[in-house]
Amino acid sequence: MLQRRHFLAAPLAMPAPSLLSRGAQGAQAAPADLLREGGLVLALRHALAPGTFDPPEFKVGVCSTQRNLNDAGRVQARQIGAWFQAQRLKPARVRSSPWCRCVDTAQLAFGTHEAWSALGSPRGATESTNAASLEALRVAIRSASTQRGRFEVWVTHMFVLQDLVGQGTSVGEGLLLRAGADGAPQVLGRWSLG
Domain housing 176? 28-47+59-192
Band (pLDDT 50/70/90 cuts) for residue 152 is very high
Average pLDDT value for the chain: 85
Q: Which pLDDT band holds residue 127 (cuts at 50, 70, 90)?
A: low
- Domain for residue 23, yes or no? no
Q: pLDDT, tens digit, for every residue of 4-60?
A: 333 333 333 344 444 444 444 444 577 788 899 999 999 999 999 998 888 888 898
CATH of the domain at 162: 3.40.50.1240
Q: What does the pLDDT read at residue 128?
A: 55
pLDDT reported for residue 125: 61
Supply the pTM of this predicted model: 0.85
**pLDDT recorded at residue 33:** 87
With respect to residue 19, please indicate whether it lies within any of the assigned structural domains: no
Phi, psi for 11 (deg, rounded to 5):
-70, 155
**Sequential DSSP letters for 3-57:** --PPP-SPPSS-PPPEE--B-TTSSB--HHHHHHHBSEEEEEEP----SSS--TT
In a domain, 97, yes or no: yes
Q: Is a pLDDT exceeding 60 seen at residue 143?
A: yes
Q: Is residue 131 part of a domain?
A: yes
Measured distance between the N- and C-terminal CA atoms of the chain, rounded to whole angstroms: 26
pLDDT above 70 for 112: yes
C-beta neighbour count of 160 within 10 angstroms: 24
Tens-place pLDDT, residues 64-76: 999 999 999 999 9
Q: How many domains does the chain have?
A: 1
